[in-house]
Amino acid sequence: MSLLSAPSPRYIRDVHLSFLIGHPLAKASHRFVCQSCGTVHPKWQGKCEGCGAWNTLAEEVVESRVPGPTKAASLGGRKVEFVALKGHSSPPPRTRTGMAELDRVLGGGFVPGSVVLVGGDPGIGKSTILLQAAARVAEAGKRTLYISGEEAIEQVRLRALRLGVSGAPLGLAAASSLRDILASLEEERDVGLVIMDSIQTVWLDSLDSAPGTVSQVRACAAELGRMAKARGFALVLVGHVTKEGTLAGPRVLEHMVDATLYFEGDRGHQFRILRATKNRFGATDEIGVFEMTETGLAEVPNPSALFLAERRGNVSGSAVFAGLEGTRPVLVEVQALLSPSAGGSPRRQVVGWDSGRLSMLLAVLESRCRMTLGMNDVYLNIAGGLRISEPAADLAVAAALVSAATDRPCPPDAVFFGEVGLSGEIRQVAQTELRLREAAKLGFAAATLPRRVARGGRALSAPDGLRLSETGHLADLVAPFAAAAGPRRGPKEKPKPEPAEAE
């Protein structure tokens, strides 16, 4: 006689679910989702194939769908009415935060019914700037709610006291259950702004996964966003980015939100850069510059002057780059240092720029300009904590490298911008006049830029008193430094031995 073993808990759950959905053979399936990038895997493995992170796969339960008819009539939907593309639509209204730098990144302020994701490393200043903005919106007369899932109300009050906004009529709550949050928001009337800090702490009890997993973050963000669009209030979700992968990164939410803002900068540095990587209601790659002080984040209305405040003239290895971040021209200092390598493999240390582009630029200088830089350790730094990804920085970086190699300083009143090709040619970049006006406003008297090509259209309008030095090839940039260096002209040429004296 055979003994029947007791059914497993998983079997009992699957049978219970099958009766709930009306199909006796429905069965739950299991999958493994990366908590860093959201890639789905059929089985567990140590490394994620999507992002390359280790030990970030978590098991999730997916209920199989019941097979049934697929005709349109059986879906129970209603007809969608299509309208003509041609028509007039007024721009959406804006809720200004009172912080010019934040409004600039948002495109003019918060749009009612929009969902904004603010991401960044822990401790970078996300909660600080949002609490400051929420207090100013509340003081302007808009009903503003701040929901904290990580900190207690007393902790938020202490931060508000330190920031000097404790007197603002701001509604505070400490909650992490999605059902409780939705029920509370349903009772509120005339809400203008809701801040959820952070989305990784919110959980839905109908899901088996733990808070912070990809399934929980997606489901909670979708429900909150649906209510925001239905009720017409602006929703801000705070997302943390960690290297360990224990919390779901905000990248899995980027396609679900209307705008994505990232905080950049080192926690040990005073400057913070707020960058818009996605914005359906404004320009992308727009930046806002803030300075971390004892009373919170202070706005920096003129970041170019602040980035160049500690610059010293007549120092080799320094050049000023006239860059463009979104629609804002920004002048930053590029610093380069070369030293003889003690070992067999020279170091390439880069802060604020692409290390691969530095290697390419060093190869162009050696192959096209007859400079020997391969046996030197190269250190490159973008002063001020700003990270530059624009190709127009090639010419400024090349000027800093050549200045460091020849030990001859760049002109202290000159700016550089232009893209360098593999053959050494200097290519045109966008918004030339905007860069030149910013340089002239800060007192610079010269600019080295790509050579203009005769094309149809108006001529380049340069500010009065600004000398333009047009460069067509990288060798034209190297020549003045090499001539000033004197005997060190032509690094690849070996010095000729002096004739021996006759005995």
Binding site members for ATP: 120-127
Give the CA distances from residue 488 to residues 367, 374, 485, 503, in Å, rounded to whole numbers and listed in that order. 18, 17, 6, 31
Helix (H) or strand (E) holding 106: helix 100-106
Sort residue 270 into left (φ over 0), alpha (ψ -120 to 50) or beta: alpha
Q: Are 128 and 163 in contact (CB under 8 A)?
A: yes
DSSP 263-304: EES-TTSSEEEEEEEEETTS-TT-EEEEEEETTEEEE-S-HH
The token pair that represents 235 in the structure block: 């929703």
Q: Cα separation of 26 and 18, whole Å?
A: 5
Radius of gyration of the chain (CA): 29
The token pair that represents 145 in the structure block: 């709610």
Distant-in-sequence, close-in-space partners of 167: CB < 8 Å, separation ≥ 6: none
Give the distance from CA 179 to its chain's centroid: 32
The token pair that represents 386 in the structure block: 């700003």
Task: Detail the residues annotated as belonging to a binding site.
Answer: 120-127
Q: Cα separation of 102 and 181, whole Å?
A: 26
DSSP 415-475: EE--EE-TTSBEEP-S-HHHHHHHHHHTT--EEEEEPPP--SSPPP-PPTT-EEEEESBHH
C-alpha count within 13 angstroms, C-beta hemisphere, residue 397: 31
Give the distance from CA 154 to its chain's centroid: 31
**Helix, strand, or coil (residue 155):** helix
**Edge-to-edge order in the sheet of strand 259-264:** 171-174, 143-148, 191-197, 234-240, 115-120, 259-264, 271-279, 287-293, 296-299
Residue carrying structure tokens 């302020």? 109
